């Protein structure tokens, strides 16, 4: 395995479906409240994406909404094949390579064996647990 410089500044990372079901999350250990509420956060993100479709031109699912600006954080949203990849990032304290890595992580999830588990999903989250190795390769969370 090649060691690449890890991106820093991510507070939380979520992979959810458009209905709000949480496939995977990784949250900074200094954010216990976020970790405790990760399923509610996933539902909130899904709701924002669904309503943004109505508010922002009614086009293809979440085509326009890409980020949300909170007080000291940015929530970046990327969608592909009806899967929402959400990154909560410290606004003033993050690496320059973070956006490039966000795209790479999304592509690895879709292009590797994980997407087949989404298509055939029956509630078993175990196949997604190993994705943490991919996330840890790119991000310091």
106-129 pLDDT tens trace: 999 998 878 889 988 888 999 999
pTM for the predicted model, two decimal places: 0.86
The pLDDT score that the predictor gives to residue 96 is 79
pLDDT value, residue 130: 93
State percent of the chain over pLDDT 90. 45
Question: Does the residue 141 lie in any domain?
Answer: no
- Please report the pLDDT score of residue 62 as a whole number: 45
The range of the structural domain enclosing residue 30 comes to: 8-135
Q: What pLDDT, on the 0 to 100 scale, is given for residue 4? A: 81
Residue 1 lies in a domain: no
How many separate domains does the chain show? 1
Cβ-proximal residues to 45 (8 Å cutoff; 6+ apart), any chain: 14, 16, 20, 75, 77, 84, 86
Residue 25 in domain: yes
Does some domain include residue 114? yes
DSSP state of 60: S
Which residues in the chain come in under a pLDDT of 50? 62-63
> Looking at the domain assignment, is residue 140 inside a domain?
no
Within a domain: 43: yes
Instruction: Provide the CATH number for the domain around residue 106.
Output: 3.30.450.70
- CA-based nearest residue to 130, from 119, 106, 114, 110: 114
């Amino acid at each position: 395995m090649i060691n690449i410089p890890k991106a820093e500044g991510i507070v939380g990372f979520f992979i959810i479906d458009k209905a709000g079901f949480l496939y995977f999350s990784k949250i900074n250990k200094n954010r216990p409240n976020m970790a405790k509420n990760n399923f509610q956060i996933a539902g909130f993100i899904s709701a924002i994406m669904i309503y943004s479709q109505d508010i922002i031109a009614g086009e293809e699912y979440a085509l326009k909404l890409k980020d949300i600006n909170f007080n000291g954080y940015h929530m970046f949203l990327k969608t592909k094949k009806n899967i929402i990849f959400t990154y909560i990032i410290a606004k003033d304290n993050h690496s320059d390579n973070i956006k490039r890595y966000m795209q790479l992580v999304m592509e690895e999830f879709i292009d590797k064996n994980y997407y087949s588990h989404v298509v055939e999903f029956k509630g078993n989250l175990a196949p997604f647990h190993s994705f943490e190795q991919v996330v840890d390769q790119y991000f310091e969370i």
